[in-house]
A and B are shown apart, each in its own frame.
Chain A
Amino acid sequence: MLNYIVKRIISGVITLWVVITITFILMHLIPGGPFDKEKKVPDKVKKAMEARYNLDKPLWWQYGDYLKGLVKFDLGPSFKYEGRTVNEIIKTGFPVSAQLGGVAVIFSLLLGLPFGIISALKQGKWQDNLVMFLATIGITVPSFVLATLLLYVFGLKLGWFPTMRWGTPLHYVLPVIALAGSPTAIISRLTRSSLLDVVRQDYIRTARAKGIPEKIVIYKHALKNALIPVLTYLGPLIAAVLTGSFVIEKIFTIPGLGKQFVESITNRDFTTILGTTVFYSVLLVVCNLIVDILYAVVDPRIKLDN
């Protein structure tokens, strides 16, 4: 077990290094520096600014410097906002995004799992058809379309939910639904197919033959194994909520990291783009690592050495 964890951590670190390096190179390939504004800056000023951000040094030096900073969790200064560091931007934005994303993840699990179970137990009946129909809609409607539709109908027309500002629990409702829409659909589909798979296995027939009540067969025997494939979806789920936050936070004007990231793209604030990408990658790699380990703990059939 320990061996497996160490191996996964090492490969995670290598993945991160590759991602950081590629992102760093990409950000420095962009034609035009961050100080090329519409108004021409005098050469002297430009030189001084470049010197201040070490942009006059060779690329490998900047790369080494950046890595050195990363080890100390220092993502450098923002090019756009004078005096703000990328760390500060993440510190103010991420808690908001994490809260929203966390609620969305829990919401999609709380809704997707029961839907999937109902659908599998009532296979072919109207409940199943209804859930699968909703799931298909959920997968095909893009999150930003769902978000604007919700905002228009429930925010603007019916006035049930606020459309401006951010903070109260009521503010969470619409963005969470928009963010959790397609993950919920995917989870219910996954749960359904996986439960249907498990129910056909021999040990379930044995359990039924022993006279165990159907409820216990499903909830105690079948569900345990059926949920393992769903567990593997946790990594992609977090990734989906994370990328979804880019548009959702923009639409609902939520002051989260997703909105900051999109703004830094429009502003061509390269250090913030780079820093946020690195931050996101670390987050995802760590999440995937935890999921992988969890997976191995839950399902002993998975050989840890491989």
Chain B
Amino acid sequence: MSERIDSRLFEPLTVDKEEINKIVRPNLTYWQDAWRRLKQNKVAIISLVILVLMIIIAVFGPMFSKYDYRTNDLAGGNQFPSAEHWFGTDELGRDLFVRNLYGTRISLAVGIGAAFLEFFIGVIYGGISGYYGGNVDNIMMRIVDVLFSVPTVLYVILLMVVFGSGLKNIFIALGISYWVGMARIVRGQMLALKQQEFVLAARALGASNRRIILRHLVPNSMGPIIVTATMAIPSAIFTEAFLSFIGLGVSAPMASLGVLCNDAIITYRTYFFQLLFPALTLCIMMLAFNLFGDGLRDALDPKMRK
């Protein structure tokens, strides 16, 4: 049973050939699109601003202070926060505000440095493994599996025991142990991408394997790679703080946030502020990196979103 519809109700649509082909929205590249999405994420942008501020203050702040991180002033030890010493002083009379700035600097350097090391080693290792496949992949991934079955913290502890404490050694230890997760991500990306036509086209044009990996495959999997690297920063900062806390961190008189926390543990019953400030800085930094990383993931790789 169908009702008849009056044909006068309809109005023919005029078709303008020019109009159809007009592109309404501006053409956005992948990165522009990601930036557009990221900008809409308030939490991520606030985190980014906090991080940038932290970096600026940590890098330039100490220049404007009359104190430094190493000069002792035994007479003025364990002072409570005041106008003179914003965060108070420690047992040896060192200004804790400046020590906190230096600590933030070291923690940031460790985090970002570890992320870079993870990036380079992981991308190369995972790229080779995923691209070549077969036995190469099998062997390389077996090694990764073995490394993966023991927690990173345990490794880093062992390596630090061998190398001895110190900033340089923390970088080496983190570099040796952090790339494993990245290698897995990159390998997965390579396996998915290498079947696609543009790789075949590149090969048909005579591109070398190295060129295909570095120029075609890696740029196309940059989204997940950057997200993984960003997430490595807070994790590395945490690991460094953890190491410092069990006495394997940077050597005195230098101090990272973890060292400051560890030093304060001894006196926390009377001078709680000595613990509070570095702990708070550490938490804010970790929170900002995590939230920014979450936002970055949502912006760069909507599929990964959960």
Contacts and interface: CB of A to CB of B under 8 A. Distances in A.
Interface of A: 11, 14-15, 18-19, 23, 26-27, 29-30, 136-137, 139-142, 144-145, 148-149, 151-152, 156, 193, 197, 239-240, 242-243, 246-247, 250-251, 262, 265-266, 268, 273, 277, 280-281, 284-285, 288
B282 A239 contact: no
Contacts of B279: 145, 148-149
A265 B261 contact: no
Contacts, number: 99
A150 B188 CA distance: 42
23 contacts: A14-B146, A15-B145, A18-B146, A19-B150, A26-B159, A27-B158, A136-B290, A140-B234, A140-B283, A140-B290, A141-B286, A142-B286, A144-B245, A144-B261, A145-B282, A151-B268, A152-B275, A156-B269, A266-B246, A277-B158, A280-B154, A281-B149, A288-B149
Given A197-B306, A268-B161, A288-B149, 9 more contacts: A15-B145, A15-B149, A144-B245, A145-B261, A152-B275, A239-B151, A242-B151, A265-B161, A266-B247
A136 B248 contact: no
A243 B279 CA distance: 19
A252 B98 CA distance: 29
Q: Is the interface of A mostly helix, strand, loop or mixed?
A: helix
Q: How large is the interface on B (under 10, 10 to 19, 20 to 34, 35 or more residues)?
A: 20 to 34
B234 to A, nearest CB: 7
B151 A243 contact: yes
Contacts of B161: 26-27, 30, 265, 268, 273
A96 B275 CA distance: 28
Given A18-B146, A141-B286, A250 B246 contact: yes
Q: Which of A137, A140, A242, A247 has the most CB of B within 10 A?
A: A140
B151 A148 contact: no
Given A136-B291, A273-B158, A152 B272 contact: yes
A27 B269 CA distance: 37
B287 interface: yes
Contact of A246 (B246, B261, B283, B287): B246
Interface in B91-131: none
Interface in B134-164: 145-146, 149-151, 153-154, 157-159, 161-162
Interface in B158-189: 158-159, 161-162
B56 interface: no
Nearest to B290: A140
B150 A140 contact: no
B290 to A, nearest CB: 5
B145 to A, nearest CB: 7
A235 to B, nearest CB: 9
B162 to A, nearest CB: 5
B242 interface: yes
A247 B246 contact: yes
A19 B155 CA distance: 10
Contacts of A156: 269
